[in-house]
Amino acid sequence: MVCLGNICRSPLAEGILRHKAADAGLDWVIHSSGTSGFHIGEPPHHLSQKVANANGIDISGQRCGQFRKEDLRFYDKIYVMDRSNYTDLNRLCGADWVPEKVALILNELYPGEDREVPDPWYGGEAGYHEVFSMLEKACEKIIEKSK
Ligand code: 4NP
């Protein structure tokens, strides 16, 4: 799961998918990172933690990291939150780019529409709830498709 800061959206996506995969008995390796290195080593944003907690998911143990080229080789699937994440990853990976592995997460729910998970960083708590709800539905779809 990849966003810009690995502070707001992708930590939620990691927490939600891990929770749902465990419930479904799926032995998946799930991780998140940011395209930027602005917040390396920090825990998720306090509002992401609050909204996750309110939904029974603990993301407090996560620490922010930056996407590395090797991640593209290691993971089977990389989900990005918005189109600029996609472009940034493409640039970061250069000649190693594997387009089949990378997708906008909301295309799981709305194939081909290239909808984006909005960045809640500059807004209030409501934005984090909205992001949680979008990511929860997308993660449900990811699990459903794997069955
Ligand atoms: P995220 O949100 O990509 O959902 O983690 C952001 C977090 C931090 C910044 C931008 C977006 N920032 O500019 O520091």
Catalytic residue among 3, 8, 64, 93: 3
Among this protein's residues, is 8 annotated catalytic? Answer: no
Question: How many Å apart are CA 23 and CA 17, to the nearest integer?
Answer: 10
C-alpha closest to that of 3 among 25, 41, 36, 26: 36
What mean pLDDT comes out for the span 20-48? 97
Q: Does residue 5 line the site of ligand 1, with CB under 6 A? A: yes
Q: Tell me what pLDDT residue 138 has.
A: 98
Q: Indicate whether 147 pLDDT > 90.
A: no
Structural contact between residues 78 and 113, judged by C-beta atoms closer than 8 angstroms: no
Q: Is 38 in the pocket of ligand 1 (CB under 6 A)?
A: yes
Per-residue pLDDT at 91: 97
pLDDT of residue 77: 98
Look at domain 2-146 and name its CATH class. alpha beta
The whole-chain average pLDDT of the chain stands at 97
Question: Rounded to two decimals, what is the model's pTM?
Answer: 0.98
* Pair 39, 9: CB distance under 8 Å: no
Percent of the chain with pLDDT over 90: 99
Q: How confident is the model at residue 106 (pLDDT cuts 50, 70, 90)?
A: very high
